[in-house]
Amino acid sequence: MKIKKLNIIITLGFIAIIGILIAQLMWTRQAYNLEDKKFDQKVNIALMEVAEKLSGGKNSFTENPVQNIANDYYVVNINNEFHPVVLEYYLKTEFTRFQINTDYVYALYNCHSDKMIYGKYMTTHQESPSNKVINFPKHKNLIYYFSIRFPDKTTYLISSLRFWYLLTFALIIILLVYVYSIYTIIQQKKFSELQRDFINNMTHEFKTPLSSILLASEALNKQEAVKENTKLQTYTSIIIDQSYKLNSHIEKILNLAKNDASGMSLKPQKIILLPFIQEIADAMLQKDKDLSIQIEIDNSTSIMADEFHFTNIIYNILDNSIKYCETKPAIVISSYKDSKGLYLKFKDNGIGIPAKNIPHIFEKFYRVNTKRSEEVNGFGLGLFYVKKVVQQHNWRISVENNADTGITTTLFFPF
């Protein structure tokens, strides 16, 4: 179901972005066509003004003297003799008035030679290009006329639509980023599934020989010869203890893999904190006589939580405080409330955590690289599991170093 939902989201995202991109391209094309028409209108009006001034007001044109022969080529009929210098002056004046700020070149028809005489390349730049050859075909039915071309018309129109093209380019970049992100998500999902399958297979393969070791060790420990020999009894006890510890690690990995695949199943119920935590603390105090746990929690304080997973959270936090302490472990568990919610704090006297490592301690398989970490067995899954359970309950967890020694782990339960 999750894969199906992901595929639907990816497909809808692709359709939406491609649709927006197509719409943007259509709008850009329409904007270009409108700009082209606007340019033609301005040029026509400007050239009509030039024609009117060159005729000296003597000729009243029965039809439009300006003919748009091609996209960038215009012919203007004057029906009167005119001087090239005067033509150039009027062209400059009218084009400036109508804000036609692009290069153009004009030519005049010479009836004596029956040819078009090249006029001048008018440019907005300081220097006129000398290498450009502009073609001016002769018009058959006119005598007194001039032609004008705009060689850079397309470039001029595109430059006037810079915003539209930048927006289109930005949308293309967004589309590419989206495609790359989706590709990365799919790859990460594939790697995660491979990793989970590998962990499942690996741990199952470990459990079979481990079960055999445990059965054999327990059977061996019951033998009379072993009971009578203190050294043999010590060795078999070590094998059994370490086997149980390894089995616990394997079960933890299996549970995490299972929760990753199907999600964590929670059964929230009301838990009164003081007796609940006191019971866990008493069990740990029986194992370690040097351990000191002080609980400062009001007897009426309660939360809604999954009993099994919340027990594991408390155990993991206390277990880390004990393992990462070089002196006699002393832990203070306290709680207080404010307007936002309940805070449950675990303060220890351990070795602390370097500030640069604190943001990473809840990552899967992450372990702080210290001398003490090398001495302590583990896979870096305890705090990852704690973080996952906390997130499933919509709580928050944070860790900070104490002013003197050790760390303080805070669980926040919002009202």
Does 105 have pLDDT greater than 80? Answer: yes
Does 412 have pLDDT greater than 90? Answer: yes
Q: Which of 226, 241, 262 is the last residue of a domain?
A: 262
Q: Rounded CA gap, 66 and 148, in Å?
A: 10
Which residue range forms the structural domain that includes residue 74?
2-160
Q: Count Cβ atoms within 10 A of the Cβ of residue 94 and give its class: 0-12 exposed, 13-18 middle, 19 or more buried.
A: buried
Within this chain, do residues 196 and 341 fall inside the same structural domain, yes or no?
no
Single-letter residue type at 249: H
Within this chain, do residues 115 and 35 fall inside the same structural domain, yes or no?
yes
> Is pLDDT larger for residue 57 or for residue 35?
35
Is residue 343 very low, low, confident or very high in pLDDT (cuts 50, 70, 90)? Answer: very high
Tens-place pLDDT, residues 246-278: 777 677 666 666 666 555 677 889 999 999 999
Within this chain, do residues 127 and 148 fall inside the same structural domain, yes or no?
yes
Within this chain, do residues 156 and 83 fall inside the same structural domain, yes or no?
yes
Tens-place pLDDT, residues 56-101: 766 555 677 888 888 888 888 887 777 888 888 888 888 888 888 8
Within this chain, do residues 248 and 181 fall inside the same structural domain, yes or no?
yes
Q: Which of 204, 232, 262 is the last residue of a domain?
A: 262
pLDDT of residue 334: 92
Within this chain, do residues 253 and 325 fall inside the same structural domain, yes or no?
no
Q: Rounded CA gap, 276 and 267, in Å?
A: 16
Tens-place pLDDT, residues 304-336: 998 888 888 888 898 888 888 888 889 999 999
The phi, psi pair for 46, rounded to 5°, reads -65, -45
Collect all residues with Cβ–Cβ distance below 8 Å to 235 and sequence separation of at least 6: none
Within this chain, do residues 225 and 277 fall inside the same structural domain, yes or no?
no
Within this chain, do residues 14 and 150 fall inside the same structural domain, yes or no?
yes
Does 219 have pLDDT greater than 90? Answer: no
CATH assignment of the domain containing 192: 1.10.287
Single-letter residue type at 357: N
Torsion angle (degrees, nearest 10) of CA 299, 302, 306, 310: -50
Q: Rounded CA gap, 342 and 274, in Å?
A: 14
The phi, psi pair for 43, rounded to 5°, reads -65, -45
CATH assignment of the domain containing 286: 3.30.565.10
Q: Rounded CA gap, 324 and 349, in Å?
A: 9
pLDDT of residue 249: 67
Q: What's the chain's average pLDDT?
A: 80
Q: Rounded CA gap, 366 and 347, in Å?
A: 22
Within this chain, do residues 121 and 204 fall inside the same structural domain, yes or no?
no
Q: Which helix (H) or strand (E) holds 120?
A: strand 115-122
Within this chain, do residues 59 and 121 fall inside the same structural domain, yes or no?
yes
Within this chain, do residues 256 and 215 fall inside the same structural domain, yes or no?
yes
Q: Rounded CA gap, 289 and 275, in Å?
A: 20
How many Cα atoms occupy the beta-carbon half-sphere of 189 within 13 Å? Answer: 10
pLDDT of residue 306: 86
pLDDT of residue 131: 58
Within this chain, do residues 10 and 118 fall inside the same structural domain, yes or no?
yes
pLDDT of residue 1: 45
pTM: 0.47
Collect all residues with Cβ–Cβ distance below 8 Å to 354 and sequence separation of at least 6: 368, 370
Q: Which of 160, 195, 211 is the last residue of a domain?
A: 160
Q: What own/partner pairs with CB < 8 Å and gap ≥ 24 does 188-194 have?
A: 189/6, 192/260
Tens-place pLDDT, residues 9-22: 778 877 887 888 78
Residue with token string 């207080």: 336
Overall domain count for the chain: 3
Question: Which DSSP symbol is given to 131?
Answer: S
